[in-house]
A and B are shown apart, each in its own frame.
Chain A
Amino acid sequence: EDQVTQSPEALRLQEGESSSLNCSYTVSGLRGLFWYRQDPGKGPEFLFTLYSAGEEKEKERLKATLTKKESFLHITAPKPEDSATYLCAVRDSGGYQKVTFGTGTKLQVIP
């Protein structure tokens, strides 16, 4: 069964203090790794899709990278508005190409 483990569960950063969030996965044939941002009580907002090891994508202060076993979401010089829960998900290569989500990392950026 596909598994997605995100760490840490919660992270508190000072504004401007860069850090990384981790997503470790086991999947029967990766067909995509997704990062979403979720604000409290809101729907997840799509950030990135990564398909193969070595791939990197950037958006503003966020950069996502992928290896064969894990993905990192690097946050450079975060601002308070980056505070949210960041979700990682993987799609497998099974017949229905199911998407499995991790439980997320709750990021708080303090001014």
Chain B
Amino acid sequence: DSGVTQTPKHLITATGQRVTLRCSPRSGDLSVYWYQQSLDQGLQFLIQYYNGEERAKGNILERFSAQQFPDLHSELNLSSLELGDSALYFCASSVEGGVGDTQYFGPGTRLTVL
């Protein structure tokens, strides 16, 4: 158990809908990362937050957004969902998000768009 929690575990929805994925980092970690992993694809970095502020953006679509709250939990919002958005979404956390930092991953949320 990494100490990172994600809810829900599974989510099934329809095209065009909007969903919110939630992540609670390990105790003491200030940085949160979101990744997408599609079938047979590597982990694609989406976005990073550090202590409530956006720090880095990866291949995140404009339909997707995220935020980190004062209690350091983070939410990833996915809107106007398409079939191709079906994937595993992972959250990771680290102490600072800088050199020497190790990212610890949560169990993931499996999103199925029908």
Contacts and interface: CB of A to CB of B under 8 A. Distances in A.
Contacts of A98: 45, 56, 58
Interface in B29-78: 33, 35, 40-43, 45, 48, 55-56, 58
A24 interface: no
A96 B55 contact: yes
Contacts of A44: 43, 90, 105
Given A41-B108, A43-B106, A96-B56, A101 B100 contact: no
Interface on chain A toward B: helix, strand, loop, or mixed SS? strand
A103 B41 contact: yes
Contacts, number: 59
Contact of B42 (A43, A96, A102): A102
Interface residues of B, number: 28
A interface, size bucket: 20 to 34
Contact of B103 (A96, A99, A104): A99
Given A31-B99, A97-B99, A99-B103, A41 B110 contact: yes
B90 A43 contact: yes
A96 B48 contact: yes
Contacts of A103: 40-42
Contacts of B33: 99
B108 A32 contact: no
Interface of B: 2, 4, 33, 35, 40-43, 45, 48, 55-56, 58, 88, 90, 92, 97-100, 102-108, 110
29 contacts: A31-B99, A32-B99, A32-B100, A34-B102, A34-B103, A41-B108, A42-B107, A42-B108, A43-B2, A43-B4, A43-B105, A44-B105, A46-B102, A46-B105, A87-B42, A87-B43, A91-B99, A96-B55, A97-B97, A97-B98, A97-B99, A98-B45, A98-B56, A98-B58, A99-B33, A99-B103, A101-B42, A103-B40, A103-B42
Given A43-B107, A49-B100, 13 more contacts: A31-B99, A34-B103, A43-B92, A43-B105, A44-B90, A45-B105, A46-B103, A46-B104, A91-B99, A96-B48, A97-B97, A102-B42, A104-B42
